[in-house]
Structure formats: C-alpha cells, structure tokens
Structure 1
Amino acid sequence: MGHPSLTLTQFVVKVHSRCDLACDHCYVYEHADTSWRGRPRTPSRAILARTAQRIAEHARTHGLSTVHVVLHGGEPLLAGPAGIRAAAEELHRALDGVTVLDLKIHTNGVLLSERFCDLFDELGITVGVSLDGDKQANDRHRRYADGRSSHAKVLKAVELLNRPRYRHLFAGLLCTVDVENDPVAVYDALVALDPPRIDFLLPHATWDAPPPHPGASPTPYADWLDTIYARWDAAGRPVGIRMFESLQRTLRGESSLIESLGLTPADLVVVETDGTFEQADSLKTAYDGAPVTGMDVFHHTLDEVLDHPGMAARRQTVDDLSAACRACPVVTSCGGGLYAHRYRTGDTPEDTGFDNPSVFCPDLKALVHAVEDRETERIRRDDAWPSATAEDLAAFDDLAAGHGSADTLDELAHAQQLAMADLLAALRQRTDLGVETDPPARAAWELLDALDTEAPDALDTVLAHPWTRSWGTALLLGGGAGSIVTAGLAELAAAASLLARRPDPVTVPLRSTPRGGLLRLPGLGVVHLTCTTGTAEVTAHDEEFTVRAGGRELRIGWGEGIDSPSPLWHPVRLVELPGWTVALEDTDPLRTAWGSTVADRLAPSAAKDWAEDLAAAWDVIDSRVPAFAPALAAGLRSITPLERRDGHPASLSSRDAVGAVGIALPESPEALALLLVSEFQRVKFRALQDSCTLAAPVAVHLLGPIEDAYAQLAEAAFGPMADRAPSAPSGFTTPAGLSALGERFVRGMRGKAAHS
C-alpha cells in the first residue's frame, strides 16, 4: 500500500555490528535484545547496494528533497575506510540525480584518525561523537572491556575535528544523561570543546527496568537538565542543544527536532548488517526482538516497511496515546516520551506493551514546566521596546488597526534584514564554514563579504528573497552537511553578483533533479542543464550573463525568456502595476515548501492571465479598500501560483517566507483582491514579530487566533461580495500570556472592529 503523505526520511545503516567499547548503558549490547549475536559483523556490498536502491526508490516515489542517512554500529569505524567508502559510494551512486543526500556517521571516536577524516571530507560525511562530559563522567560508563578509560582518545578525536581542515565535518556531541554526574561539570566540559551542537539523551529504560533514581528528588533527570538549561541560558545559549530547542519549539506549538519529544511522527528505519529492516534501535531496551519487522532490503520496499504495525504505532497522534497522556497538559511538548520508554510487562498479554506514559513521565512533566517558567520569565525581563518613539507607537497602532504605511513596511523589512543577518551569522558559527575550511565554502563566504561592501543593495535584494530565510532556518534547525550549506551560499552569492553586474565568475554547485542539473539563482530564476551533477560557472556581462557547465557555454540575455518559452533559462517574471511591482515566483525549487499544490512553470498564456487578473485586482483594492494598498505595495514582493484543488487552501503564507504568498488564481479579480489583502495581513502580522515581542515563547500559540482575526479585519473591510462572503472579525479577547505590546495590538484591533 502506498503512502501519499507518510514517508521515511531518516535511515540508520549499520556498517558494523560489534563495538570496541563496553559501555554499560548501551542499548544494543547491554539491554534486552540479543539479536546482534547472530548478525554478520559487516554488510556485504550487495546489501549496501540494495539498501541504497531502496532509499532512492522511496525518495523518487515520494519526491523527497533530502534524505538523512547515518552510518552506525556497533562502532562504525570498525568497518574501516574500505567498508565506509563502500557504503557511501553506493548511496551516492543510487541517490545522484534523485535527491540530496545528508550523510553522517556516529562514532565513539576512539579510532578516529586523519585518514578517516580525509575520507569523510571526500565523501561528504559529517561526524557525531559520543562523549558524556569530563573524564570522571565519561569513565562512569564509556570504558573498554578491560576497564580502561576511553576519554583521552575521544578528546583527541574532537581535537582532530576542530582543526580548521576538518571543522566543517564536525556535527556535534552526544551525551547520555547520568544524574550521578555533576551537570555543571558535564556541560562545561562539553561546551569547552566548542561543538556545533550538543544532544542530551535520557538513558534507555522501561517500567520493567526503570532508570536509577538516586537521592530524594522525585524528578532527578528534570533537575539535572534544568540546571544545565539555566547555565546555558545565562551564558547566552552559546551552542545549539536540540532537547532544549525542541522544548521551546513545542511550547510554541511547533514541531520537535527529536523523536523523544513532541508529536512529530517517527520517520526513521534501521538497516542491519544482514540487510533486515528494523525499527528504531531504542526499542532494543524493551524486550528481545522488539525492533524486528521481518522484512529485508531484497524482498520488501520501504512503503511496505511503513505498513508494519510497529512502524504505524510509532506514528501515533495524541489520540493514540495512553489515557494518562491524553489528559496531561504538557502532552504536546513531551509527546508521551520516547516510544521505547513506555514499555511495561503487565499481568496479562493484553496489559503488556507500550500503552503507558513514559517511565520518565514525572521528569518530562517537570522539565517542560521548568522550561516554560524560564522562558516566560525571560520575556518578562526583556518585554520592552526600548527604542520606541511616539512615532513608532503610532505606526504600531496603525498596523493594529489593519493597515500600515509604506514607511512602516520599510521598517518591518529592515527588521527582517537584521533577522537574516543574524541567521547567516548563526549559520556561519554553527557550521563553521569560515576562511579556514574547504575552498568552495571559503569562496562563497569571501564573495558574500565582498558583496556586502561593494554591492550591498544587490546582496540585500537577494537576502530578502522570501525563500532565503526559509532555507537558512531549515538548515539551522535540521543541520545539514557542509556541502548542502555551501551550495546555498554559492547560489546567494551568484545571484547577488549577477544583480550587481560583477564581472568575476562565480562557481555554483548544481541541484540534481530527475530532468538534469538545476542552477538556482534565487530571485532571478533557474537554468536547466543536461549535466546532472557538478558545478556551473556564472559570469555577468553588460548585455547578458554566461553559464559554463558540462563542457558547454550558454549565453543568456537579461531579458530572454520573460515573455516567451525558453527551454533552458526560466527567469522570474515581474508584474509591474501602477505603484506596485510583484514577482510571479514559479521557478525556485524551494517554493515547494508550500506543499503539493504548487503550480509548475506557467506557460506564457497563463502568465498573461495572471498579470491581467493582478492588474484588475489591484484596481479593486485601490477603489474598495485603499487604506490597505500602501502596505501591500511596499511589502508583498512575491506570489507563488498554486493549483486549484478541492480541499486545499486558496492562499498560503509562512513566517519563514516573509514577503511572499501562495495563491490559487480564483475566478474573478474581486476574489483575488480579497485573497491578496487578507493573506497579506498574515504576512504583516508575522513580520511584526521580527520587530517586537507580542507573546512569551510559551504563549506563542495564542497568536494564531489573533492572526486569524487580523486577516478577518481585512475581509470585513471589503463588505459583501458576490464571490465570497467576508468573515466576521472575531477572537478579539485579550488572552493571558501576551506581552504589553501584544495586549496593545489586540486593543487596536478591537477598536478598529468596533468602528467597522
């Protein structure tokens, strides 16, 4: 059975089934499951090839833009350079031209060497290392079988990854929580190693084999993690910690970054060294054979794996959780905890299973409340707009009333520029793709720095492209190999260089598509090429620009392809109206974030229909709701055409694509005018959140109904229309949890509604 909406995007491929350490908290060798004893130490080349083919098949069927593969064990470095090369080469071969491969390896680090790092650099493999803190903390569990410490060798591995030559390979540190260790000492030891990210993991346990609970506290794990949270926050959050970031996100109503928190469906499968598909390794802690699916890479597709009852159970919604979880006020944040941690052996077979809260339930609940309290207190401390003048507040009140001037929208755009600059700085720090690393990354950063000095307007234009921010945000939240980051940076630099007519060539990695290679020039368009991989060299000239790729040179005039079909160059079309110029964005591959209803490249006749309808809709706005026109003209820069489908939204917008909307062209200009104005209300409201704090992070979910009411203000301004009855403004109560500015905004909306 196929799954149109359910997919697997994360794959753990075991390249060795044994380990050179004897960690006593290891779920593979020290817990209930013993299946490792009967498996081959390494997979055959045939298994690796078939695994890669299955992943490619799944990615092609479901149109996946990226797949994430972790080479794992046991200890994967025991496979040796040849074994790891075989796995990586098969994956690259199968996925080339199908999807982007984000390839990682997770290791205990004791065997890491320059030879391995050179191999990882060649094959685009980033490296995560397990380390439980300082020597005392790490030696408590992570020792050799004869009792020797592994700590010194792991520190040497991290030191190697921190060398400028290899820093871009460093994915982060993974630390298993032991509440008998000093949390401050553990945190300080890890941060001192300057990792790009830290993952804290609760030790695997079940109701049958509960975790240690030393001391008198009923929530020792929450206490331990909260101590680290406080130190991390006081230090300015110098490193990404995915557990804490996930709690912040789920408290805002967003998705978690990790499987053990939140309600995001599990999308991971494991391939063992014998080619069998298994569920997550964490299930090995429950009972012998718990992860087994009975399927393998030679006889079963990944869609068939998705149909396995165990996989379905791990995709539970809140309605499928235990009764205790459903009744819990923090369920959307903890999500019932990790699935394996819910296991309990009951008095009867019917009572045995995973229909329970997590064995860490009290700790999870306490930790969620602790983070909620700390984030609320932080907003109370910071809830101010210290530079606000009377003019600023007047502009704020004008926005709250539903309108906003062009000057106000310019101020919001400036705030977005600052947010984008912060995002790039964070991306640069997180990935450490600086002047000391690989040549493509160095070239991209150096060109961006040069453009910031020589052609700041051109660079600002490209950075303001709506999908630039969504690209950067996705990378910061989800990681990504250095090659993926470098490609995006090079695309930005090339587009800005072309806008500035800078004559120096820029090298840009191509994106692989089923049709061939794609050169993405954000905000300008795309070039379709026959070569499927490699790079293109882009150079600006006075009357044209050139693209060299695959031994071929293309000369493309600046106006080519705007009004007529062009087989290779698909520029972004601009619709120029009196007082408003807007792009019809039907080229950028990142626009697919709107979902499956995104329209393909418009035919010239369809583009003409859009231009004519936009002109007519602009006349409707100017005549019926003129107060909304200045802000829309100043702030709405891009429209992505959507397909009209029953059951799908007629319009869309996103916090991470400010300045853009997606619209399915309606039947009349009047209906289009209403969609433009009401959806742009949402854009304005989200842009405002870059300038000031409207609610504490734990109360951000309250902003959704306020945003809906803000859109309804615009709809009500149109009055009755034949095509669509406007929604009545609603939701004008002032909920607890808003900041002072949030309360002021709601009062302004309420006053406008009262006089409408």
Structure 2
Amino acid sequence: MPPAPRPPVPFSQYVIKVHGRCDLACDHCYVYEHADTSWRGKARVIDEAVLARTAERIAEHARTHRLPAVHVVLHGGEPLLAGPARLGRAAELLRAALPPGCALDLRIHTNGVRLNTRHLDLFAEHGIKVGISLDGDRAANDRHRRFADGRSSHAKVLAAVGLLRRPEYRHLYAGLLCTIDVENDPVAVLDALVALEPPRVDFLLPHATWADPPKRPDGLGPTPYADWLLAVYRRWEELGRPVPVRTFDSIHRTLRGRSSLTESLGLDPSDLVVVETDGSFEQADSLKTAYDGAPETGFTVFEHSLDQVAAHPGMVERQSGLAGLAEECRACPVVRSCGGGLYAHRYRADDGSGFRNPSVFCGDLLKLITTVRDRTTPTAAVPAQDPPGAALTDRQLDELAAGYGGADTVRALAGAQLGLTRRLVAAVATASPAWELVTSLDAGDGAALSAVLTHPYVRAWAVRCLAGPGSGGAGSGGPGSGGADPVGADLGGVAELAAAAALRARRSFELPLPVRAGAVHLPTLGRVLVGGAGEAVLTGDPEGFEVGGVRTGWDAPGDGRWQPVRRVALADGWTVALEDTDPQRDSHQWPVAERLDEAELRAWSGALREAWELIGRDLPGYAPGIRAGLSTLTPLRPGPAGRDVSAAARQAFGAVGIARPAAAPTLALLVAHEFQHVKLGAVLDLHDLYDRTDQRLFHAPWRPDPRPLEGLFQGTYAHLAVTEYWAARVRVLADGPERENARFQLAGWRSHTVGAIEELTGSGALTPLGERFATGMRTAVEPWLAVPVGPAAEAAARAAAAENLARWRARVAAGAG
C-alpha cells in the first residue's frame, strides 16, 4: 500500500522584493543576467497595498499552522532603493499583523553601497538585521560586483560594513555573503572577510545549470569549486574557525543527521516563498537561472492563500526529500548531506528531464562533503585505546539476552573487540619492518590507527596468520584461536594497515606493499590496480599517495585504477562501507562478489536505505545496536537457484556478508539476523555462556543436521530478531498472500526459537551466566507467542517442525549406524 501523500510543509521563510531594480551591474546576478526576464514586467517598487496584503497572508498562515516564528528578508534588486520610509512601513505592517506568540525575525539583504546611518537608525528602531554581499578583497569583489560604468563598489561596501561594526549598530550585523569565483585566491578571500569580523559568512556557488554550466578554467582540475572551498576550509581551520561558515556548518550538521542551514545542502523540505514587487508569489529566486518564468506559480497575495501556494507542484517537488531526487542522487553515499544540491542547479532542458538530475556541481559537492567527512568524522566513535575492563555490566548482558543491546552496549562490545584486535595484531606484526610505523602512529595518531584496526577484516587477517596456513581461522574459534609462530605469516598485511593508517593521519612515509591479484590494498580505503605481482612501493604525503604510477588522494573519487571503498549513507550521519576491495573480506562461508559496477552500486545503495527504514519501523529495539556496530557490508555472490545468502564471520566484528536479495524487506531481515551473530560472537569473546569442552551435538529445530553448542546458541539468538521481524510484518501488512506468509513464518520461527531455548537449557552445559542469558531469550519471545496467526499457520508450523525432527532423527541414526 503506497504511503499517504505528505501534507505540504508550511512556509516559515519569506523573501519580499521591495524593489525590482539594482544600482550595481553584477554580471553573475541571477535576477538580471540569467534566463528569466520577468523582472522587466514587474513593478519597480512595492506599494503599500501589496505590503499590507502580504503581511495579512503571512499572519493568516502563521495562525493556521501555529508557527512560533517567521523569518522575513527584505530583498531586491537592491532593497535600499525602496527608501527608508517604505522599509520602515514594511516592518510596521508585518509586526502589527502577526498573531501573539509568533516572533518576527526581520532582515534585509543589500549590496551595501547606499547604506548610511539613517538606514541603520531605522533598522535599529524596527529590529532589522543587515546582511551584505561581498566577494572578498578588492580584486575578488570587483571581478563581478561593479557599477554599470565599470567603477569599483568595494570601497563603498567596506564603508557600509564599517558602519555595522560600530558599537551602536553591531547588533544589526547579520553577516556576509560571498559568491565563489574559482579564479579568486580562496585564502585571500577568506582572510579579507574574516578581517571584517562578521557574525557569519556564507559562500555561494555561482548559479548555473546543465544548459549554462559553471566555468571550469583550464589547469584547475575537474572539481575546481570543491578545491576552492577545501582551501578555504583548511585556512578556516588553521585560523581556529574564527567565524561560523554556513556551508561548512551545514555539512557538519547534515553528516551528524541534523538539519541544514541552507537550501543548497541537505534533504530538509523547502519552507520558503518569494513575494514579488507586484504581489505575485514565486518559488525560490535561484530558479530564475533555469528558464524564463521558472519561479512563477500563478498565485498572488490578493487572490490566493499561502496554503494554496504550498500545494503548488513546484513547491511540493522541493519538499519531497529523497523521493524527489534523480536515481543517481538517491544512490549517492553523501545524498543526505548534499541533498542533490541547490534545486536550480539540477536543471537540464535538452533531454526533457527538467530538475530530475544531479547538480551541475555534483562532482564538486561529492569531493567537498566526503573530504570534510573523512577528515572530521570517520574515527570519532572509535576508541583510541583498550576500554577499561573487558566484561559487560549486568544491565548490558540483560539487554543483549533480550536480543537487543542499545548503542552504548554495542559500543562497549566494539571497544572490547578493538582491544582484542590490537593484541592479535601485535602478536603478528612485531616481525614486520612496518611495525615501527605502526607504533609511531599509535603514539601520535592513535585515532587514525584505531580507525584501521576497527576494520572487521584486520582481525580476520591476524587470526589467519596466528592459526597458520590452511587453518580457515577467520571463520571459527575464539579470540586466541591458533597460536602458531607468526614467522612466515602474511606480514604484508602489517604494511597494508600501517599505510592505510598513515594516510589517514596525513603522514609522509614510504613503504613496500604486497601486490595481491594485481592490486595494492589499503584496508578501509580501497585498492589501486597496478598489475603484476610481488611488491610495489607506496609513497604517502599529507595530500595523498603514489604507487604503481598512480597518483591520487585516498579520499578522491575512483578513476578506474584507484578503486576506493564506497560508503552508503543511511541516516543521521551513519554510513556503512560496501566492502568489495579487501582480499581479507573472503572470510564468510559463501564466495564474495567482485567489484560492484555502477548499476549494482546504485541498486545496493537504494536497497540498503529502504532496508534501514524498515528496520527502524519493524525492529526499533534492534536498530540502535545495528547502527552503533555495523560498519561494513560485504556483497556476496548470488546463491544457488535464487536462494537468499548471508553470513557473519566469527572473527570479523562489525561486518556482515549478504548477496543482495530481490526485495528490501528481505534485506532488512538478513541484516538484522546476521548482526545478531556479530553481537553474540563478541559476547562469547568476553564471557563463557556454556562449557566449551562439551563436544556433543544438538537438535536445531530449523536444521536437519546436528549442531554444536555454539552453533545452536548462535542460531537461537539470531532467531529472536527473525521472530520479532515476522511479528511486525503480521502487524503492518494488509490482508492478502504476503500477510498469510508472514503468519506462517511467525508461527514457525517462534516455535523453532522456543524449542531451541529448551534444548539449550536442558543440555546441562550452560554456565550460570548462560542460564541467565537463556532465560532472557525465553522472556523476549513471550510477546510474539501471543500474536494470533490462525489455525492454518499453526498447523503448518507444527507439521514442518515434525518433519524437521524426523529428518534430524534419521540423520543421527544413520550416523550412529
């Protein structure tokens, strides 16, 4: 059943055009220099009737939707051309009309050349804050912001800012807006703006579309706008982030799952409407860059309410979030931060796709966001050192016994796993020439080293090394399995993890790395296709690395020979790696898939996002733990005859392997199922739940073959999530074949799970803690036993269980004979 249409989001932001002309002739202006020419037919200045009716419409909307505040910008053209009297009247009408309890945030955005103390005294009286457009130092500003006769505007703008910096007017100073030109010196631009002590700086990409693309000067590379902003970002950090920068703050916020501060980033629905000088309602001004008439709605303040405007198809489209984006955007790893870029920048006319395209700045936005993300967020949640104390608390054990385990509990498991991995790696790595770099990183850049050691397949590699050749040690056994002398082990893995950590730490170094199947591998980062075998020397520096004739940055997009690990952004700043490059990922019982092509990557990304939404809805008790602990998904090859295939490797905490199923609900179930194995394996590394010397085999109600104690425990624990999943499906599905299947599945899995718990508790092999854990599992199943499924489903489940038991008994009897 499709979801009900979401009601339009009410408008809380308004741009009122108080004057339709300008006293500058900026050649990058979207109003006068782009596709839309409607300004020619609009009134030069807004009259009182339009102002009064606009104030009434805003007040009406605020009352209807009980808005706590509205934000209004007096704009143009150049709004100061409207004169102080009209600006003051606009403020009076707006404040008088708003209902009690609705605050007014009133601002004016100006080029500043006419700003004087008369204006500022008026603004102080009415509480109007002032934002000013300024593109940097004189050379940068005068590249575009000039008078019609070519004169510089810079000195007049500086004088205006000087007035705002006076103590009596400082409270009116809202900030500076700078339009990017990549031919300007980014550091000089930032320094010039910071010197003016603004409360905020906003950098804007120049308006462009696929029909009228932005300039990309020769010699500046394929992503000049990202490179320019990253140069500003580095300088901003060097200066200690002296002022808020809306672009950077929005990236930081959206990476953490919070709202954006600008319509050009993030997936927040647009809540802005424009009122033109003649009283017509329009969409965002930036649409004027797309085509003539693009922002028009056909509505006016005299004839239409703002609710009618909110229902306009163009407004609805800009409030549709992920669903309103192009397929390429929905599959992008940074879509929740990028949001597809500014709506106007997606326009394409030649193929009829309109705005259903990636931004014309797509490559720049991807590089900008991923670089900021990888420099600031990837290791933030990774403990740099072993956690104090390995054992879990009673509360945490009880959470886990119930099948769940909140974020803090799973993070405790992750911290303990990191400590184990450190010890395992140390047992292998001291014989490697790269060990000195590892210890240096641990002393000075521990977070970068831990970010690599937390990679699930680092531990898998270390266990293989310690277990000896042919052991298959990554798939079974506890944290100390094996014990072979590491001499002769795969010490190339030490160099690989050292190089990856050193690149994350922006270290300069040189290391020989093994070439495996024609590629040099960097755990957590990706691989470089160099061909051949043997070794290749990798040279790293703060900007990137070079190996096998390839020069790149580890956070750069792939170029064919450099194949980075791709990440899928799921929600709230959480990303999961789609690991298809690491040779150690072959740790599961099923063969791994090769490098995903772009179509399969998009399919995986979309399926994972949908699956995560389903987990949040149907398995809310499991979602926080999955988010805290699942870092890696390894695509597997499809199973035989369409069979759904998934696995969790005992020595690879944080990873699950799955062959992409046909439907997202199945993927949600497989993720939850396999992460149960991940959690229980980590618990068993810390606590004895059963007698490990007991070699007996037991009946698992869902399998015909006898199972050892750990296998029975693992399957039972995984099926706590499976049972709850089917109970949720029974609840949310409409009557029909799917719901009947869900009833049958629930009847079977809850019966299997209860039977397996009884098998465990009757084994006599559980420790006291294991008995307590099994009791917790039994209690967790109770609510799902009460969900009605109907006599047919119950009968079918009993028949299936009886058949399974008969097959198991026959197999045991055959083995005994």
Q: Normalised by the shorter chain, which TM-score bucket?
A: 0.5 to 0.7
CA distance in 1, matches of 2:624, 2:377: 29
| Corresponding residue SS for 2:74 | strand
Q: 1:46 to 1:698 in 2, by over 3 A?
A: closer
Alpha-carbon RMSD across the aligned residues, in angstroms, is 3.8
Task: Indicate the residue corresponding to 2:574 in structure 1.
Answer: 701
Deviations 1:315-368 (A, max 9, x none): 232122112212222211111111111111125xxx251111111111111111
Amino acid at match of 2:165: N
Query: Is it true that 1:734 corresponds to 2:737 in the alignment?
Result: no
Query: Is it true that 1:373 corresponds to 2:377 in the alignment?
Result: no
Query: Is it true that 1:147 corresponds to 2:20 in the alignment?
Result: no
CA shift at 1:35, angstroms? 0.9
Task: Indicate the residue corresponding to 1:659 in structure 2.
Answer: none
1:729–1:753: 8 Å Cα contact kept in structure 2? Answer: no
2:258–2:572: 8 Å Cα contact kept in structure 1? Answer: no
Amino acid at match of 1:735: L
CA distance in 1, matches of 2:685, 2:356: 46
Deviations 1:464-506 (A, max 9, x none): xxxxxxxxxxxxxxxxxxxxxxxxxxxxxxxxxxxxxxxxxxx
| Corresponding residue SS for 1:195 | coil
Task: Indicate the residue corresponding to 1:107 in structure 2.
Answer: 110
CA distance in 2, matches of 1:131, 1:27: 16
Query: Is it true that 1:236 corresponds to 2:212 in the alignment?
Result: no
The within-5 A match list for 1:350-369 is 351-369=352-370
Task: Indicate the residue corresponding to 1:253 in structure 2.
Answer: 257
| Corresponding residue SS for 1:259 | coil
CA distance in 1, matches of 2:65, 2:233: 39
CA distance in 1, matches of 2:228, 2:50: 42
| Corresponding residue SS for 1:173 | strand
Amino acid at match of 1:57: E
Query: Is it true that 1:263 corresponds to 2:158 in the alignment?
Result: no
Query: Is it true that 1:206 corresponds to 2:79 in the alignment?
Result: no
Task: Indicate the residue corresponding to 1:224 in structure 2.
Answer: 228
Q: 1:236 to 1:309 in 2, by over 3 A?
A: same
CA shift at 1:215, angstroms? 2.5
The within-5 A match list for 1:78-227 is 78-216=81-219, 217-227=221-231
CA shift at 1:44, angstroms? 1.1
| Corresponding residue SS for 1:240 | coil
CA distance in 2, matches of 1:749, 1:109: 67
Amino acid at match of 2:235: R
CA distance in 2, matches of 1:228, 1:399: 47
- Once the two structures are aligned, what percentage of the paired residues are identical? 62
Deviations 1:279-312 (A, max 9, x none): 1000000111111111100000000001111111
| Corresponding residue SS for 1:30 | coil
1:252–1:697: 8 Å Cα contact kept in structure 2? Answer: no
Unaligned runs of 5+ in 1: 404-411, 413-695, 706-711, 713-724
**Structure of larger gyration radius:** 2
Q: 1:257 to 1:748 in 2, by over 3 A?
A: farther
| Corresponding residue SS for 2:203 | strand
Query: Is it true that 1:322 corresponds to 2:195 in the alignment?
Result: no
The within-5 A match list for 1:662-741 is 700-701=573-574, 731=626, 734-736=629-631
Q: 1:320 to 1:111 in 2, by over 3 A?
A: same
| Corresponding residue SS for 2:270 | coil
Query: Is it true that 1:47 corresponds to 2:50 in the alignment?
Result: yes
Q: Which has the higher contact order (CA 8 A, sep 6+)?
A: 1
Q: 1:298 to 1:402 in 2, by over 3 A?
A: farther
1:376–1:697: 8 Å Cα contact kept in structure 2? Answer: no
CA distance in 2, matches of 1:182, 1:359: 23
CA distance in 2, matches of 1:729, 1:72: 45
CA distance in 2, matches of 1:750, 1:65: 52
CA distance in 2, matches of 1:262, 1:55: 26
CA shift at 1:164, angstroms? 1.2
2:390–2:686: 8 Å Cα contact kept in structure 1? Answer: no
CA distance in 2, matches of 1:733, 1:750: 18
Q: 1:44 to 1:399 in 2, by over 3 A?
A: farther
CA shift at 1:97, angstroms? 1.3
Amino acid at match of 1:128: G
Q: 1:399 to 1:209 in 2, by over 3 A?
A: farther
| Corresponding residue SS for 2:36 | coil
Unaligned runs of 5+ in 2: 400-407, 409-568, 577-607, 609-614, 633-653, 656-678, 690-768, 774-817
1:29–1:36: 8 Å Cα contact kept in structure 2? Answer: yes
CA distance in 2, matches of 1:26, 1:402: 62
Q: 1:729 to 1:355 in 2, by over 3 A?
A: closer
Amino acid at match of 2:362: C
Match of 1:341 among 341, 345, 361: 345
Q: 1:177 to 1:402 in 2, by over 3 A?
A: farther
Task: Indicate the residue corresponding to 1:37 in structure 2.
Answer: 40
Q: 1:196 to 1:214 in 2, by over 3 A?
A: same
Amino acid at match of 1:301: S
| Corresponding residue SS for 2:252 | helix
The within-5 A match list for 1:296-445 is 296-347=300-351, 351-376=352-377, 379=380
CA shift at 1:736, angstroms? 3.6
CA distance in 1, matches of 2:624, 2:24: 63
The within-5 A match list for 1:58-77 is 58-77=61-80
Match of 1:19 among 18, 22, 41: 22
Deviations 1:53-78 (A, max 9, x none): 00000010011111110000001111
Deviations 1:524-572 (A, max 9, x none): xxxxxxxxxxxxxxxxxxxxxxxxxxxxxxxxxxxxxxxxxxxxxxxxx
1:200–1:243: 8 Å Cα contact kept in structure 2? Answer: yes
CA distance in 1, matches of 2:354, 2:156: 40
CA distance in 2, matches of 1:162, 1:87: 25
CA shift at 1:254, angstroms? 2.1
CA distance in 1, matches of 2:40, 2:72: 24
CA shift at 1:86, angstroms? 1.1
Task: Indicate the residue corresponding to 2:281 in structure 1.
Answer: 277
Q: 1:128 to 1:749 in 2, by over 3 A?
A: farther
Deviations 1:377-408 (A, max 9, x none): 7849x9669xx996xx79996886689xxxxx
| Corresponding residue SS for 1:71 | strand
CA shift at 1:702, angstroms? 6.8
Q: 1:80 to 1:46 in 2, by over 3 A?
A: same
Q: 1:402 to 1:271 in 2, by over 3 A?
A: farther
CA shift at 1:38, angstroms? 1.3
The within-5 A match list for 1:469-618 is none
Q: 1:5 to 1:346 in 2, by over 3 A?
A: closer
1:15–1:76: 8 Å Cα contact kept in structure 2? Answer: yes
Q: 1:121 to 1:25 in 2, by over 3 A?
A: same
| Corresponding residue SS for 1:91 | helix
CA distance in 1, matches of 2:259, 2:265: 9
Q: 1:400 to 1:139 in 2, by over 3 A?
A: farther
1:325–1:331: 8 Å Cα contact kept in structure 2? Answer: yes
1:318–1:335: 8 Å Cα contact kept in structure 2? Answer: yes
CA shift at 1:376, angstroms? 3.4
Number of corresponding residues: 437
TM-score for the superposition, normalised by structure 1: 0.53
Task: Indicate the residue corresponding to 1:289 in structure 2.
Answer: 293
| Corresponding residue SS for 1:84 | helix
